[in-house]
Chain A
Amino acid sequence: MSATQQAVKRAKYKTTVKDPGTPGVIKLTLEKLIFKPNDPTSKNKLEVDFRLIKSHKHTKEGSNKPPWLNLVHSQGSYIFEFESFPDLHICRELVGIALSKHVETTKVVSDEQLSSSEMTLRIKLLQENSKLQKLHKELVASGKLTESEFWATKKKLLDQDESRKLKQRIGFKNSLIFDTKPTSDGRINQVKFQLTPEIKYQIFALKPAVHQAFLNFVPSKMSEVDFWNKYFKAEYIHSTKNTIAAAAEAAEDEDLAVFLKDDEILENEARKKVRRVDPTLDMEADQGDDYTHLPDHGIFRDGSKETSEAQNTLYRRTLLQDLNRQSEVVLEGKTLDIDMEHPRTVAEVLARRKQESDGVIEEERRNRISKMAQIEDLQAQDDHPFAPLSIKDPRDYFDSQQANAVKTLDDSLAGKKLRCNLSSEQVYGSLRESISNIKTNGLKHPLLSPEVAFKVLSGLTKNISSTKSNLGKSSQESVLDILPNTIKEKLLDHWVCSQELLRHFWSSYPVTTQSLVNKARRLNDAITQINSKLEEIKVSAQSDLRHQVSLVVHPMQQALHAALVHYDADDKKRTAKGPKPNGYV
């Protein structure tokens, strides 16, 4: 019955059952009820908000009692006697609707303690995702689902958000080498270097030998300033590519020598790497940062051994080596969260980190190798007898099963059994008569009328071009696009909502506790609501769209209907008396 927002009826108002009642007019809206007695001087006027009314009762039509409606509130009850039962029913329905709006539904007192960060996370998610917000409003605000239940299925979203904190780490700048270019003015014979803590950190990451030297020398042997001075002197010498000068300087100052010769630590690491024979190793790329091999693998092509160069080779450093080392460090991408101020601590932290990471790298390497040790073409062929995959068009199967889903058992069993009361003589006689009929008269002339033939032909071809086999065959068009926007939006909203509800509904079975019983009941009501809304949409669609709309709505309704049927069946089973297996409540 369409919900009229108000009702105005004649009624008598009684405070108790025995009271004869004051005749008057009762006006009911969804918010309150107003009773005006016919007699303007009477004091029995009433204006009550439905919020104060707890429940309502009424007399049954079949009993001998007059039509009474009893509205119970905290201090007593208001009894209204109506003129007829239909009046009573109308008012009763309205009261029911009004009360259900105001009654606190089985309340969503969420007993989970949410931390404030959780709450902010949820609010943020709702703000960002408008669809989620709509769904949340629809389901939780109207009391169909509790907050905890709603978010229980959205765990993936919540987790994803958490991990957003570990955002991208800022890696090294790719200009490590060039950061330390000095500024110089042509006049003074001085070269200035800019040093920031970050640059220091980069240098330590790039050159482990310098790092080691720093840990060893500062502050025991020299001050930091001196250390950096020496380091940059070495850098300057390198940049001039004067190996002989480098050798000379190295011979003079042993500290400087540390910076000038090759990085031993790097050498060791590289040696380890080469020995690993990792099948995933790219030997070609490694040649560039290979500190251990002599050029041309030690074979001197012109036959002479250049031993004099041996010493000087130590001081040669190629750009390739620098670039490779830098890219290695950048890709490792270790950032430091600590304060960059004190270079000593920086160095120590870096040293510690390296030790830890070594262990991790070892393990990773072992895992990787265990997975990759089998080189595929060297494996023996395994002949598994495979059955060839036969992919059938799924539409064939589903189309052919559609009618089955709807058919009931009684369809052809109880179908009209043909009854024949004639004897076999009569029957055979009539058959032979028909045969001889044709023999004498020939075939029926005309065989069939052209109208009938045309009807048959158009019937057959109509089936061919029905939407059922056309829909979904071309990728561009879909049923939803044919529908106008409002209907489409509504249908999509209902779809999302009903999916969510169904998910919660089916997850609450089997029903073992009382809370699940309540939840199932709540969801059942919500599902009936959506079902009726869908029905409304279907009915109110325009005539030319009605078929498409019903096609789209049909599977949704089927799913909802299945849920409702299941609820009813389960409910009956639960309320049925008798001992139950499995400890059901």
Chain B
Amino acid sequence: MASAPSKHYTDDISLLVVTLDTNPFFWSTFSFHFSDFLSQVLAFLNSILLLGQLNQVVVIATGCNSCSYIYDSSSDRNHASTNGTMPALYSNLLHNLDEFAAKDHQFTTDHKPPTVPSSLLSGALSMALCYIQRAFRAGPMHPQPRILCLHGSTDGPEQYVAIMNAIFSAQHSSVPVDSCYIGSNNSAFLQQASYITGGIYYRPPQLEGLFQYLSTVFATDLHSREYLRLPKSLGVDFRASCFCHKQTIDMGYVCSVCLSIFCEHHDKCSTCSSVFGQAQSDVASADSRKRKAS
């Protein structure tokens, strides 16, 4: 996909909305420590704000049960830390993150160990897009928005429909979704998101240098990206999840009216209630063969 076209006004001022994966189950099993990760991300966010006075940064925490805005650089409720050791960005963010973690813990439903629940990426993307829409409507002059997903947990196939809807609305509003995926295998959802919206999907091979990756690949604004050759994704996993069981499938049935995907034959589409036709002849010939044998 061609990269997203940059808009005419304020061509290199960016509004960066970061969705930060705070899935505690993932972080407790991951080799890279959360505090190291967070310090690199905080430094990165600071450097974004340093790049331009009008740059804005918004951080959304993606938890297991809920998502919430934890930092907005343009809000006036930012205050410096009590003992003055840290700039406002850090102290506010950390404070809010802590509160968010506590709240998220309260929402925990019983999950079946040892599986790791996935983070609510769809929720975070939706919140990001809502914020961006508000920025669009703020006036004729606004920074160019983009979304950066710092994500590590595996995809939850039950979120497939919601994530695809979010991706398509991002595509429609020309908001590129960059993904910095730090998990072990590639994430199909994020690959698709970046491919469709014209963003960058990158999985850094060395996590100790995460700050270097972030500042080299993900820090550039949309206007300057035309002049840079950023890492290209080698392949995109376009597999979908079925609508009935939320499992990732390779081959399935598609409703010709609403394009919902099913893994097995149904009589009626659950999304648009259109009635499907007769089953194919495989079934028929299998029956006839059985009849012949018996």
B97 CB to closest chain A CB, in angstroms? 6
Q: Report Cα–Cα, A295/B133, bound state, in Å.
A: 82
Quick check: is A285 within 8 A (CB to CB) of the other chain? Answer: no
B218 CB to closest chain A CB, in angstroms? 12
B residues within 8 A CB of A409?
250
Contact in complex: B36, A444 (CB < 8 Å)? yes
Q: Which of A426, A431, A442 is B85 in contact with, Cβ under 8 Å?
A: A442
For A437, the closest partner residue in chain B by CB is B35
Contact in complex: A404, B206 (CB < 8 Å)? no
For B238, the closest partner residue in chain A by CB is A404
A residues within 8 A CB of B211?
447-448, 453
- Per the 8 Å Cβ criterion, residues 388-419 of A in contact with B are 392, 396, 399-405, 407, 409, 411-413, 415-419
B residues within 8 A CB of A455?
206, 209
Contact in complex: B237, A412 (CB < 8 Å)? yes
Interface string of A323-337 (1 = CB under 8 A from B): 000000000000000
Contact in complex: A417, B236 (CB < 8 Å)? no
Contact in complex: B250, A430 (CB < 8 Å)? no
Contact in complex: A420, B102 (CB < 8 Å)? no
Quick check: is A378 within 8 A (CB to CB) of the other chain? Answer: no
Q: Which of A399, A419, A423, A439 is B232 in contact with, Cβ under 8 Å?
A: A399
- Per the 8 Å Cβ criterion, residues 181-220 of A in contact with B are none
B84 CB to closest chain A CB, in angstroms? 12
A residues within 8 A CB of B285?
581
A residues within 8 A CB of B85?
442
Interface string of A517-558 (1 = CB under 8 A from B): 000000000000000000000000000000000000000000
Contact in complex: A457, B116 (CB < 8 Å)? no
Contact in complex: B35, A438 (CB < 8 Å)? yes
Contact in complex: B248, A413 (CB < 8 Å)? yes
Q: Which of B22, B33, B212 has the most CB of A within 10 A?
A: B212
Contact in complex: B248, A448 (CB < 8 Å)? no
Contact in complex: A400, B25 (CB < 8 Å)? no
Contact in complex: A428, B232 (CB < 8 Å)? no
B residues within 8 A CB of A396?
1-2
Contact in complex: B195, A430 (CB < 8 Å)? no
Quick check: is B255 within 8 A (CB to CB) of the other chain? Answer: no
Contact in complex: B28, A430 (CB < 8 Å)? yes
Q: Which of A412, A419, A436, A460 is B29 in contact with, Cβ under 8 Å?
A: A419
B residues within 8 A CB of A447?
39-40, 43, 211
Quick check: is B208 within 8 A (CB to CB) of the other chain? Answer: yes
Quick check: is A435 within 8 A (CB to CB) of the other chain? Answer: yes
A431-B101, A435-B97, A457-B216 are known contacts. Are A444 and B237 too (CB-CB below 8 A)?
no
Contact in complex: A427, B28 (CB < 8 Å)? yes
Contact in complex: A415, B212 (CB < 8 Å)? no
Contact in complex: A431, B114 (CB < 8 Å)? no
Q: Which of A415, A430, A457 is B185 in contact with, Cβ under 8 Å?
A: A415
Quick check: is A456 within 8 A (CB to CB) of the other chain? Answer: yes
A396-B1, A452-B209 are known contacts. Are A424 and B185 too (CB-CB below 8 A)?
no
B290 CB to closest chain A CB, in angstroms? 13
Q: Report Cα–Cα, A233/B154, bound state, in Å.
A: 107
B residues within 8 A CB of A453?
209, 211-212
Q: Report Cα–Cα, A432/B34, bound state, in Å.
A: 10
B residues within 8 A CB of A443?
39, 42-43, 90
Q: Report Cα–Cα, A392/B3, bound state, in Å.
A: 12
Interface string of A25-66 (1 = CB under 8 A from B): 000000000000000000000000000000000000000000
Q: Report Cα–Cα, A438/B97, bound state, in Å.
A: 12
Quick check: is A559 within 8 A (CB to CB) of the other chain? Answer: no
Quick check: is A381 within 8 A (CB to CB) of the other chain? Answer: no
A residues within 8 A CB of B108?
424, 428
A residues within 8 A CB of B238?
404
Quick check: is B219 within 8 A (CB to CB) of the other chain? Answer: no
- Per the 8 Å Cβ criterion, residues 220-239 of B in contact with A are 229, 231-238
A308 CB to closest chain B CB, in angstroms? 84
Q: Report Cα–Cα, A188/B219, bound state, in Å.
A: 107
For B229, the closest partner residue in chain A by CB is A464
Q: Report Cα–Cα, A426/B250, bound state, in Å.
A: 37
Q: Report Cα–Cα, A439/B250, bound state, in Å.
A: 46
Q: Report Cα–Cα, A418/B31, bound state, in Å.
A: 12
A449 CB to closest chain B CB, in angstroms? 8
Q: Which of A399, A427, A456, A469 is B216 in contact with, Cβ under 8 Å?
A: A456
Q: Report Cα–Cα, A8/B234, bound state, in Å.
A: 54
Q: Which of B43, B184, B206 is A456 in contact with, Cβ under 8 Å?
A: B206
A447 CB to closest chain B CB, in angstroms? 5
10 A-B interface contacts by CB (under 8 A):
A396-B1, A418-B116, A420-B29, A427-B25, A432-B101, A435-B35, A435-B98, A438-B42, A452-B206, A460-B231
Instruction: Please report A residues at the B interface, Cβ cutoff 8 Å.
Output: 392, 396, 399-405, 407, 409, 411-413, 415-428, 430-432, 434-439, 442-444, 447-449, 452-453, 455-457, 459-460, 463-464, 469, 581
Q: A430-B27, A448-B208 are in contact. List 13 more A-B contacts (CB 8 A).
A: A401-B236, A412-B248, A418-B26, A422-B113, A424-B108, A428-B105, A432-B98, A434-B33, A443-B39, A448-B212, A452-B208, A457-B212, A469-B229
